[in-house]
Each structure stands twice: as C-alpha cells, then as structure tokens.
Amino acid sequence: MSELRDALSQAAQAKLLLVALDFDGVMAPLVDNPYESRALPESLNAVDFLDRLPRTWTAFITGRNLDNLRSVVTPPRNTLLYGAHGAEVSVPDAADVPDAAVPGSGDDLSTRELRVLDVIDTAHEELDTHLNHTGISGMWLERKPLGRAFHTREVEPEGAEIVRRALDELSAELDDVRIVHGHDIVEFSVRSTTKGDAIDQLMQTTRADTAIYMGDDTTDEDAFRHLNRYPGGLTVKVGPGRTEARFRAEDPREVSRALAHLASTREREVSREA
C-alpha cells in the first residue's frame, strides 16, 4: 500500500487528473448476484468528493450495460460512464465536455449482430434445458444490449464441465464475436470495443496529463495496457493474479483507503493553487 499511496500522492499534483474505475471488484466487493452489488460507502464518498474538485475528472468503465450500472449505483454528478466495456457512453449534462469529444455509442444493431444474438439465445435455451434435465442449477444468462453474459459463479461442481464444453462449442461456432472470460462469467459481445478503447476515448475527451485506472478482472488488462502507454498513466490491479498493472491493491477495502487518500491529497493540491 505504501508504494501505491506514494504514487497517488504524486498523481494528485497533476494539472488535469482523471480517476477511472471499474465497478465490480473495485468499487464494490464481488457477490453471487450482480444485481445485489453495492459500492462501499467510503469509495463512493471519495469518488463523489473527487468529482466535485476542479480540474479533476471521474469515470466508471464497466462490463455492465449502463442501465444495469445505474440500477446498483447512483454515479456522482459529473462522472463519465462507459458501459459494455466502452461500447456504451454517457456524459452527464453537468460535465463540461464538448459534444465533438464524446464518441457515439452506436446502439443500433446490424442484421448480422441481431442474428448472432439469436444464435447465442438459442444456445442458451438448449443448454438450460439440458442442465434442468440433469438436475444442475446455478447458471443464468444476462442479456445486454450488445451481447450476452453467461454467469457461472453458482454452478455446481458437477455441472461446471458441461457448461464449459457447451460454451467452448458456442465460441467455435461464432465469427466476429468478442469473447471475454472473467470472474465466473463468459461474455459474448457483437462489438469488439474494449476497456482499452474506453481509456483512449477518455484521454482524448479529458486531455488529462495524469490518469489512474483501477480494475480487478481480465477485461481490465486492456485498460492497463493502453494506459501504460501514456506518460502519466497509473494502473492498479485489485486482487490476485498476473497483471500488466504497475501497482496492486489487495481488495475493495484497500481501494477505499486509497481513494480517500487521493481525495484528501488532491483537495490540498487544488486548494493551494486557488
């Protein structure tokens, strides 16, 4: 924590600071039912405080679609939102961002994309029927505007191999589909947008000279790789596992402490220059 704390203290001195965060596993502890996920109050308070400071941008970058994200958290007033790994974008009216700097979400699906979603839905129905016949429970499908996510956290051990084989077969059947394996989730997306793309869009939008990104999952590695290319990039992996992030936080509780430190340090810096 000391190395991360020192790096955040340095980042707080930036002329323009961007603080971007994944939600699940970073702002909120991981739970079996993602609709029951809630941000730790200390983290949300720190982001809200940062959000109100001058020359400071905040953003959430998440695999959730934006409606899903808003169902579990009320983002601070100026926070930029990137859902579906960056394929969905929402910039609040309160945020002072030129329209030309905001990329479109491209919500309208093509005929091909709709056909792919139909194939995935059919495969899910067949797999669900097979699991029910064999008495295996725990898998459920999350329907997103741009894809589908198979949640497997609660699948019983004897069913895990059946689900894995079925999803491998589905993956082999699909072309031009982005497939992401995360924490007990396999997501199929008809768009190839990644969290790395979201980072690039944010850097262009905010013109930040220093940017922080904290993430916990395999999908966050794209964001880490992209942000590491920027001179002022500070990347933080939350939890265990191999990573390209330059720093590490143990869990969302440590994230809370890190964000609180960043918020207080940033306040002193901008107040000193006022």
Q: What is the pTM of this model?
A: 0.84
Q: Each residue of 199-240: pLDDT tens digit?
A: 999 999 999 999 999 999 999 999 999 999 999 999 999 999
If one counts the domains in the chain, the total is 2
Count Cβ neighbours within 10 Å for each residue of 73-98 and write b for 16 or more, e otherwise.
bebbebbbbbbbbbbbbbbeeebebe
Longest Cα pair distance anywhere in the chain, in angstroms? 67
Same domain, 58 and 97: yes
Enumerate residue ranges in the chain where pLDDT < 70.
1, 93-107, 274
Residue 153 sits in which domain range?
Answer: 111-189
What's the CATH code of the domain at 183? 3.30.70.1020
Same domain, 7 and 100: yes
Three-class DSSP category at 126: helix
Q: What is the pLDDT of residue 157?
A: 82
Same domain, 28 and 48: yes
Residue 172 burial by Cβ neighbours in a 10 Å radius (0-12, 13-18, 19+): exposed
- Report which residue type is found at 23: F
Q: Each residue of 104-118: pLDDT tens digit?
A: 444 578 899 999 999
Q: What is the pLDDT of residue 100?
A: 37
Instruction: Compute the mean pLDDT over every residue in the chain, rounded to the nearest whole number.
Output: 91
Q: What is the pLDDT of residue 101?
A: 44
Q: What is the pLDDT of residue 95?
A: 60
Same domain, 40 and 99: yes
Task: Report the 10 Å Cβ neighbour count for 69.
Answer: 23
Same domain, 118 and 78: no
Structural domain ending residue among the three candidates 158, 189, 220? 189
Same domain, 117 and 179: yes
Q: What is the pLDDT of residue 167?
A: 93
What's the CATH code of the domain at 11? 3.40.50.1000
For tokens 């601070």, name the residue: 76
Same domain, 73 and 200: yes
Same domain, 103 and 201: yes
